[in-house]
Structure 1
C-alpha cells in the first residue's frame, strides 16, 4: 500500500545517517535501496570510519546523486560507528532523522510510511519492524512486543520491549537533545533509545516490516556473541555504561532493577569461573544503592558460584526484593 502525504508536507527533509567501515562490497546495495524510495525529499549522509577497503571508490559511483553526501570521520573523534553517527547528525539538515547501517536494505516505502504516520498522528517518533536475511534468504520475522498502554521508557530500559536502530524515525527536535555514546560498540541502540524515551514517550508502532537486516559473520554483534564468555563480559560492561548514562534519570524501582540485572550477569560470570574488573563496579553500586547487607550476600554468592556453581539463593537474598515495589 502506498501512502499519499499531503502536498503541504512534501517539503519535509528526511536525513538518513549511515556510518560505514569496510563495507565496500555491501554499501552500494544499501544506497540503491535508498535511491529507490517512493519519497524523494531526503539526504543520505555516509560517514566513513576510515575504511581500508575501496569504499571511497564505490561512493564515487554516486557522485551525480547530490542527495548522497560522503564524509570522513574527523580524526580527532573517537573511532567507531557512534562517533560517525554524532558527526553525521551535526552535518545533517533534515526535519526528521533515520539512523541506518551500511549493510542493510530499505523497502521502497520505508521513508514514506514512517513520515506519513509520524505527521498524521503528530508523534515525536515512530517504530516500524525489521526482518533478518542471510545469504539472500529471508529469515523468520522478528517478534516485537507491543504494550497495550503504549511505549514507556521503563519497559525499554528493562528490556521488556525492544526494536532495532533502523526501525525508528524521530524528529530533529528530539535528536538534538540526545547523542550516541562513542565508547559503545554494541547495545548502543539500547542506550540511545533509552535516552530518547527519557525525553519523550510520544511515539507509535507501525505494524509493517520496512527494513531487511543483513546477518553476516563480520558484523560486530556476531563477534560479541561468538562465545558465552565474550557475550557475558560484553553485556555486563554495557549495563554499567548505560547505568552511568541514565541511572540518575530513572526512578528508584528501575534503578534497582538495572542493578539486579548487573548482579545476575556478575553471578553468571562467577559460575563460569571467569573474572571481570567490571564486577568491582557492580559491587560499588550494590553497596551504594542496596546497602552493606546486600553487598555481603552478593559477595558470598559470587564466591560460592565460583567454587561450586551454586549460591543463587544468596544472590536473590542480596536483592532484597521484598523491599522493592514499582512506583
Structure 2
C-alpha cells in the first residue's frame, strides 16, 4: 500500500533567528513521506538565506504569498491549502519544535480508522528547548465529535492550530477567514466540527510551542487592539454558524454572554440576541445575565477571596 502524503504548511514572517531549529525538527520526522511548504508573508530579514540549505531536500519548498491572498497567517495558510497535495494537512508555526514521531503517530491513527482529524497534546517552553522527548509507544485516546463543540469553544478541549493533523477532506469547502488576525483557527475549527467531522484525541505531547511576547496570543493578552477586534469578530462568526446549524445551545449562549462581559463587547451580546434560534425565554435569561454581570463578578471575586 502506498504511504499517504502529509502536507506541512508553515507560514513565516521575519523568523530567520528561529526557523532553522523548527525545520530541523521537521526534517527529523520518523515518517518521511511529507511535503513542507514554507510560505513567506513578506518579511524583510534573512529568512530566505537561512532556509536555502533545507531546500536541497526536495520535500521542502519556499513560496511567497501571492498578493491575491490577504497578508497575515490566514492568507498564508489558505494559499498553502490551495497548493497542498497531501492526503493529510498539518499546520506548524515557524518558531516551535516538533516531536520526531509527530507525523508517524497521527498518520497511524488516521490511516487505520475512520477519523477526519487527529488531535494531540501540546506543551510550551521558554528559551532553550530540551530535546528529551517522550518515546513511550502507548497512550490513551478518545473520540471528538460535534457533541463536544462547547468544550472546543470554551477551551476545555483546546484545539491549538499546531496540535491537529487533518484529513484534506476537511478543507474541501473550508478556508480561514482572512480578515481575522487572531482566533482564526478557533473560528475555522469550530466550523469544521459543526459540519459533522469527527476525530481522535491522543494523550501524547507531540508539539512544543515557543512562548514569547511577539506571538499573536502574546499580543492579544498585552492589549493589542487589532487582535482584540479579531477575537470579537470571530465570536460573532461562530455564533452565526452555530445558529444556522441549530447548534446554539443554552450552554453556548451562556458562554458567549460571559465572553461579551470579559471582552467588554456589547457587539457580541447584541449579535447573540439577534439570532433566530434564540427563544424569547433564552433572550430574557441572556438579558438578565448580561445586566447583572457586574454584580455577579463582585460576588464571585469576594467568594474567591474567602
Give unmatched runs, 5+ long, in structure 1: 1-7, 139-145, 271-277, 314-327
1:12-32 alpha-carbon deviations (Å, 9 max, x no partner): 111001111111111111111
1:77-129 alpha-carbon deviations (Å, 9 max, x no partner): 21110111010011110111111111111111111111112112232211111
Aligned-partner Cα distance in 2 for 1:294–1:284: 11
Aligned-partner Cα distance in 2 for 1:176–1:297: 36
Aligned-partner Cα distance in 1 for 2:68–2:121: 35
Equivalent residue runs for 1:221-260 within 5 Å: 221-227=217-223, 235-253=231-249, 256-260=250-254
TM-score if structure 1 supplies the norm length? 0.76
Give the aligned partner of residue 322 of structure 1: none
Give the aligned partner of residue 5 of structure 1: none
Q: Which has the larger radius of gyration?
A: 1
1:260-305 alpha-carbon deviations (Å, 9 max, x no partner): 33322333455xxxxxxx5145324325535499479839955x87
2:108 is the alignment partner of 1:112: no
Aligned-partner Cα distance in 1 for 2:102–2:282: 52
Match for residue 212 of structure 1 among 191, 202, 208: 208
Match for residue 282 of structure 1 among 247, 269, 289: 269
Aligned-partner Cα distance in 2 for 1:27–1:148: 33
1:168-216 alpha-carbon deviations (Å, 9 max, x no partner): 1111122223211212222222212112212334311222111111111
Match for residue 55 of structure 2 among 36, 41, 63: 63
**Offset of residue 259 of structure 1:** 3.6
Equivalent residue runs for 1:178-327 within 5 Å: 178-227=174-223, 235-253=231-249, 256-268=250-262, 278-280=265-267, 282-288=269-275, 289-291=278-280, 294=283, 298=287, 302=291, 309-310=294-295
Q: Mean Cα displacement is larger for which, 62-71 or 291-300?
A: 291-300
DSSP 3-state at the match of 1:180: coil
Give the aligned partner of residue 125 of structure 1: 117
Match for residue 75 of structure 1 among 67, 70, 88: 67
Do 1:48 and 1:73's aligned partners in 2 also have CA atoms closer than 8 Å? yes
User: Kindly tell me: are residues 284 and 292 of structure 1, through their superposed partners in 2, closer, same or farther at Cα, counting changes over 3 Å?
Assistant: farther
**Offset of residue 232 of structure 1:** 7.0
Comparing both chains, which one has the higher relative contact order based on Cα–Cα distances under 8 Å and sequence gaps of 6 or more?
Answer: 2
1:1-22 alpha-carbon deviations (Å, 9 max, x no partner): xxxxxxx243x11100111111
Do 2:99 and 2:206's aligned partners in 1 also have CA atoms closer than 8 Å? yes
Give unmatched runs, 5+ long, in structure 2: 131-139, 299-306
**Offset of residue 43 of structure 1:** 0.2
Aligned-partner Cα distance in 1 for 2:91–2:288: 41
Do 1:301 and 1:311's aligned partners in 2 also have CA atoms closer than 8 Å? no
Equivalent residue runs for 1:44-63 within 5 Å: 44-63=36-55
Give the aligned partner of residue 93 of structure 1: 85
State the number of aligned residues: 285
**Offset of residue 137 of structure 1:** 5.1
TM-score if structure 2 supplies the norm length? 0.81
Aligned-partner Cα distance in 2 for 1:200–1:300: 31
Aligned-partner Cα distance in 2 for 1:297–1:250: 18
